[in-house]
């Protein structure tokens, strides 16, 4: 039994024990411990990540003549560690007082823990897949496990969003199955390497169909344009820490499969040769543009949200675009930035979701129009959110800056000014909306009903602080992560990045975050020195001792403007929000329901039995025809 | 010559104030006064028709900014409170709140005759007649209304007062509000009633600046203590 087998045995035992344990307290402690053990096991397997090794599981299944097996590469390890650490944070967060409150409000805590571990297990199965069949099976597991997580919330919107997700997921799975069938038809095997062979043998038109089928399958999971509509609501309407977990990593499974199938085995070089409109657009630049639009459109939808969870979930969709955009640049720093952004995004997204859940835990609402001024009551949560939004907005010294900088740099170096502008537009929207998030939650006027609010207990505070430490450390010293990225690039055949502890070395201008952060903190230090040691007499005042044109402020006078937060901006860009994708979705839904009504009516108006007989006769006839043809 | 003069002046002020150990301290003091007079942020509380004269005073024709004076939107960052015109009783409450929210050193300029003596409203029951009964006024600019030249002249006088404050003690009217708080508070209470209070704790500020005088406390502050609802600052709670 090698390390991977041991790891999967532990994962399986964890799943069984969490499913079996009925005692809530024991269950929450045990499940957190299992995640810790999984992290330890992954740490023991770290040679995969540092030396680009591969561990193949001894366990395999012979099925219809081919061998289905599982293996761990640097890529699988990277995504696994993110998955397990996010699950650990979520599990720790819900193990204490949050879980107690969840049960009091009628939630099924055991089921939530089970949904979490099921998600983790299915993701690990997917990440470890060694061939297309095991990939497809893992893919289905992940889809249904997320569905279980999404239906835990009793609200109607949650159910609706979950059903919508399942329909999208089935479409994606069918596309993936069709692509698999194409591989099988051409080579009679479902090995990853057969993708390359099958691709080379195809005609040009088939190549487009082949790549698009794979891409649609994966893009739906990742929420890339135009399949972005399902994700945000479905993730936001999930019980607290579950939303943090799903938002952090779940949809990145789509990116993992894109990396394995499209980047590693079809190859970006091959995509570049598939011309759509000579010389402007080829398949690779099409995907890059899809990624760029994914950064812009969902980010600006997030700007309009007034529910904190939905705002974050829409950002989760938008940030996926940066990852794909970086990878599609097909160079060392672009793809390194894209890959790093997976980890960076997971860390700050989980931290941000947990802060919002902490606010909901104390105030009972995540409506940004009904909060405000909580900084005095929940200062540590504020700090975590501050660190998180600095990361999400991509400002130094947090980790979001590093990965976004690499993507920008690569766009500039590769001569893609339009994509660069698109990426910057996305960042602009991100900064605007995260400012809205922290302002409407923590700054401004504290409401009367929130005056007794206190900081959340330590069981919730520890995972939040831990995640924010990760956000800072990986931003301060990206060299801790970059060896893993370099091994991934080596594994999937991308140019390998040159790195050091502070960042990257690059002929056209590298990055050293230790210097960047050092200068930043030096600037803050000089300011703090002047303010705190050279005279600065600060005086704390009450929030009603404030200037509002001379008004005497009281709890009745609201001077915290949160509703319609960017009226000036919306005056300029408001007309661009036309809901075109929603409209398109509705058109497809109506067309399909029209067709189904048509068939239903036909079926009902005639003799149903006769129709059945007719179908059966036709089916039998075609089978007979085929077989007799094959026989002769 | 200049240096000598400066030395003599600083010796004079030395006798008035407590001993300064740093020999350069007085040079610094003069320098600070000079700087203060050159950079003034102004909150214009436009109560009456005198406000009409401010746009020309601020904009390109008379250009107040060449004197180092420009508008500011909040009292926390402002140095000058400009009251332009008559103050009704209702407005005066707001003016006092705004004045108290400003950080020291702070200066008040009353523009138009109305702030001096009520002007054409002197018979009105609803108008406060003399602004300096309610807050210390540094400079009055009389006229109905004063021309922009007069406004600039008044501002220049304020600047000179600030610059020569340590010699002539003209630019520190704001200290009077702390030293004689009881007097001002009494006038305010007469006008607004016994329940009158602002969220600002003036006595605590007087202690902070070291400006408590005999006039700080008195009958009226005792009355205030009886009705005051202090707004304590919000603390960070863990």
Indicate if the pLDDT at residue A390 is higher than 90: yes
> Which of A375, A537, A544 comes nearest B199 by C-beta?
A544
CB A334, CB A406: distance < 8 Å: yes
CA distance A303 to A314: 9
What is the mean pLDDT of the segment spanning A518-535? 88
- Which of A266-270, A468-472, A607-611 is the least confident region? A607-611
pLDDT at B238: 73
For B90, half-sphere exposure in the C-beta direction (CA atoms, 13 angstrom radius) is 3
pLDDT > 90 fraction of chain B, expressed in percent and rounded: 45
Q: Which residue of B has its CA nearest to A553?
A: B199
pLDDT > 70 fraction of chain A, expressed in percent and rounded: 99
Residue B154 neighbours by CB distance under 10 Å: 21
B24 CB within 8 Å of a chain A CB: no
pLDDT at A543: 85
Question: What token pair was written down for A293?
Answer: 């639009």
- Which of A487-496, A600-609, B88-97 is the least confident region? A600-609
- A542-589 confidence digits (pLDDT tens): 888 888 888 888 878 777 788 888 888 999 998 888 888 999 999 999
Pairing of strands B69-71, B87-88: unpaired
CA distance A502 to A508: 17
The ipTM estimated for the assembled molecules is 0.80
Residues from chain B that touch A559, judged by Cβ atoms under 8 A, are none
pTM: 0.87
Give residue A503's region: left, alpha or beta (phi > 0; psi -120 to 50).
left
pLDDT at A277: 72
A606 pLDDT band (50/70/90 cuts)? low
Residues from chain A that touch B238, judged by Cβ atoms under 8 A, are 379-380, 455
What is the mean pLDDT of the segment spanning A441-460? 89
Yes or no, beta carbons of A446 and B234 under 8 Å apart: yes
Residues from chain A that touch B231, judged by Cβ atoms under 8 A, are 541-542, 544-545
Indicate if the pLDDT at residue B67 is higher than 60: yes
B89 CB within 8 Å of a chain A CB: no
CA distance A124 to A76: 8
Indicate if the pLDDT at residue B212 is higher than 70: yes
pLDDT > 90 fraction of chain A, expressed in percent and rounded: 56
What is the mean pLDDT of the segment spanning B26-30? 82
User: CA of B5, closest CA in chain A: separation in Å?
Assistant: 30
Q: A577, A572, A570, A344: which is closest to A472 by C-alpha?
A: A344
pLDDT at A205: 86
pLDDT at A632: 46
CB A379, CB A387: distance < 8 Å: no
Question: What token pair was written down for A103?
Answer: 């049960």
Residues from chain A that touch B75, judged by Cβ atoms under 8 A, are 547
What are the angstrom distances between the C-alpha of A304 and each of A159, A360, A432, A442?
23, 20, 10, 19
Q: Which residue of B has its CA nearest to A376?
A: B236
CA distance A74 to A52: 6
Domains of chain B: residue spans and CATH:
39-171 (3.40.50.12280)
CB A335, CB A487: distance < 8 Å: no
What is the mean pLDDT of the segment spanning A15-38? 88
Question: What token pair was written down for A447?
Answer: 């409401």
A347-369 per-residue burial string, b: 16 or more CB within 10 A, e: under 16: bbbbbbbbbbbbbbbbbeebebe
pLDDT at B13: 43
Give the bridge partners for A559, in sequence order: none
pLDDT at A412: 92
A172-211 per-residue burial string, b: 16 or more CB within 10 A, e: under 16: bbebbeebbebbbebbebbbbebbbebbeebeeeebeebb
> Which of A455, A540, A549 comes nearest B233 by C-beta?
A540
Alpha-helix runs per DSSP H in A188-282? 192-201, 204-222, 231-236, 240-245, 252-257, 268-273
pLDDT, chain A, mean = 89
Range from A53-67, A417-431, A532-546 that averages highest in pLDDT: A417-431
Indicate if the pLDDT at residue A178 is higher than 70: yes
Alpha-helix runs per DSSP H in A443-510? 458-476, 482-491
What is the mean pLDDT of the segment spanning A387-406? 92
Q: In what helix (H) or strand (E) does residue A278 lie, and over which residues does it extend?
A: none
Yes or no, beta carbons of B75 and A543 under 8 Å apart: no
CB A316, CB A351: distance < 8 Å: no
> Which of A379, A454, A541 comes nearest B233 by C-beta?
A541
Q: What is the DSSP string of A72-125?
A: E-HHHHHHHHHHHHHHHHHHHHHHTHHHHHHHHTT--HHHHHHHHHHHHHHHHH
Yes or no, beta carbons of B208 and A537 under 8 Å apart: yes
Yes or no, beta carbons of A376 and B234 under 8 Å apart: yes
CB B218, CB B182: distance < 8 Å: yes
Indicate if the pLDDT at residue B14 is higher than 80: no
CA distance A244 to A356: 9
Indicate if the pLDDT at residue A325 is higher than 90: yes
Q: Which residue of A has its CA nearest to B95?
A: A550
pLDDT at B18: 55
Indicate if the pLDDT at residue A595 is higher than 80: yes
User: CA of A167, closest CA in chain B: separation in Å?
Assistant: 45
Yes or no, beta carbons of B234 and A551 under 8 Å apart: no
């Amino acid at each position: 039994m090698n390390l991977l087998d041991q790891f999967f045995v532990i994962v399986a035992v964890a799943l069984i024990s969490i499913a079996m344990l009925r005692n809530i307290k024991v269950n929450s402690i045990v499940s957190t411990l299992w995640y810790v053990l999984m992290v330890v096991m992954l740490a023991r397997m770290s040679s995969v990540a540092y030396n680009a090794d591969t561990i193949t599981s001894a366990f395999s299944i012979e099925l219809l003549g081919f061998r289905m097996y599982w293996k761990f590469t640097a890529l699988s390890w990277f995504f696994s560690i993110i998955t397990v650490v996010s699950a650990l944070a979520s599990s720790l967060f819900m193990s204490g007082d949050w879980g107690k409150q969840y049960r009091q409000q009628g939630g099924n805590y055991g089921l939530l823990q089970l949904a979490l571990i099921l998600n983790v297990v299915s993701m690990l199965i997917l990440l470890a897949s060694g061939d297309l069949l095991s990939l497809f099976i893992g893919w289905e597991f992940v889809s249904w496990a997320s569905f279980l997580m999404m239906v835990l919330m009793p609200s109607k919107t949650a159910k609706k969003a979950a059903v919508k997700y399942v329909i999208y997921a089935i479409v994606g799975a069918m596309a993936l199955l069709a692509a698999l069938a194409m591989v099988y038809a051409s080579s009679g095997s479902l090995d990853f390497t057969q993708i390359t062979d099958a691709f080379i043998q195809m005609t040009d038109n088939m190549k487009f169909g082949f790549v698009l089928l794979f891409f649609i399958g994966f893009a739906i999971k990742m929420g890339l344009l135009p399949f972005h509509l399902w994700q945000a609501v479905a993730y936001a309407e999930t019980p607290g820490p579950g939303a943090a977990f799903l938002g952090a990593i779940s949809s990145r499974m789509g990116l993992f499969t894109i990396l394995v199938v499209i980047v590693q085995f079809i190859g970006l070089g091959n995509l570049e040769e598939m011309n759509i409109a000579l010389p402007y657009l080829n398949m690779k630049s099409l995907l890059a543009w899809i990624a760029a639009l994914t950064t812009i459109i969902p980010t600006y939808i997030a700007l309009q949200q007034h529910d904190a969870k939905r705002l974050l979930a829409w950002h989760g969709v938008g940030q996926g675009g940066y990852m794909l955009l970086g990878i599609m640049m097909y160079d060392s720093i672009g793809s390194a930035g894209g890959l790093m952004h997976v980890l960076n995004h997971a860390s700050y997204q989980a931290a941000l979701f947990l802060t919002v859940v902490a606010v909901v835990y104390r105030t009972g609402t995540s409506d940004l129009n009904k909060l405000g001024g909580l900084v005095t009551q929940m200062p540590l949560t504020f700090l975590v959110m501050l660190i998180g939004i600095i990361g999400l907005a991509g400002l130094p010294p947090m980790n979001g800056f590093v990965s976004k900088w690499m993507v920008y740099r690569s766009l500039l170096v590769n001569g893609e000014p339009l994509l660069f502008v698109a990426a910057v537009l996305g960042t602009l929207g991100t900064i605007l909306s995260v400012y809205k998030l922290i302002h409407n939650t923590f700054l401004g006027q504290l409401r009367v009903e929130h005056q007794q609010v206190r900081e959340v207990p330590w069981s919730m505070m520890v995972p939040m602080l831990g995640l924010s430490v990760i956000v800072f450390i990986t931003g301060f010293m990206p060299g801790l992560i970059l060896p893993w990225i370099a091994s991934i690039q080596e594994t999937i055949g991308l140019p390998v990045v040159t790195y050091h502890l502070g960042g990257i070395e690059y002929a056209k201008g590298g990055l050293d975050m230790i210097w960047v952060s050092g200068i930043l903190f030096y600037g803050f230090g000089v300011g703090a020195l002047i303010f705190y040691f050279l005279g600065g007499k600060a005086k704390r005042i009450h929030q009603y001792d404030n200037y509002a044109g001379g008004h005497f402020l009281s709890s009745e006078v609201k001077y915290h403007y949160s509703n319609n937060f960017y009226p000036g901006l919306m005056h300029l860009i408001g007309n661009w929000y036309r809901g075109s994708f929603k409209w398109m979705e509705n058109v497809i839904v109506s067309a399909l329901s029209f067709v189904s009504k048509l068939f239903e009516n036909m079926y009902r108006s005639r003799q149903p039995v006769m129709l059945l007989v007719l179908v059966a006769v036709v089916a039998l006839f075609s089978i007979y025809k085929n077989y007799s043809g094959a026989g002769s | 010559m200049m240096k000598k003069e400066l030395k003599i002046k600083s010796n004079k002020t030395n006798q008035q104030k407590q001993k300064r150990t740093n020999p350069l301290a007085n040079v610094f003091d003069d320098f600070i006064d000079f700087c203060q007079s050159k950079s003034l942020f102004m909150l214009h509380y436009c109560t009456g028709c005198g406000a009409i004269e401010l746009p020309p005073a601020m904009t390109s024709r008379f250009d107040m900014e060449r004197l180092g004076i420009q508008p500011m939107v909040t009292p926390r960052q402002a140095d000058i409170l400009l009251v332009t015109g008559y103050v009704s009783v209702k407005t005066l409450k707001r003016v006092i709140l705004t004045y108290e929210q400003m950080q020291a050193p702070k200066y008040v300029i009353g523009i138009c005759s109305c702030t001096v003596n009520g002007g054409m409203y002197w018979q009105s029951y609803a108008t406060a007649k003399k602004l300096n009964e309610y807050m210390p006024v540094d400079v009055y600019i009389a006229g109905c209304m004063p021309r922009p030249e007069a406004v600039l002249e008044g501002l220049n006088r304020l600047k000179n007062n600030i610059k020569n404050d340590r010699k002539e003690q003209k630019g520190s009217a704001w200290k009077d509000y702390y030293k004689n708080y009881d007097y001002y508070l009494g006038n305010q209470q007469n006008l607004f009633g016994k329940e009158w209070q602002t969220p600002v704790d003036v006595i605590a500020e007087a202690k902070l600046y070291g400006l408590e005088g005999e006039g700080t406390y008195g009958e009226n502050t005792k009355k205030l203590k009886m009705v005051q609802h202090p707004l304590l600052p919000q603390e960070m709670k863990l």
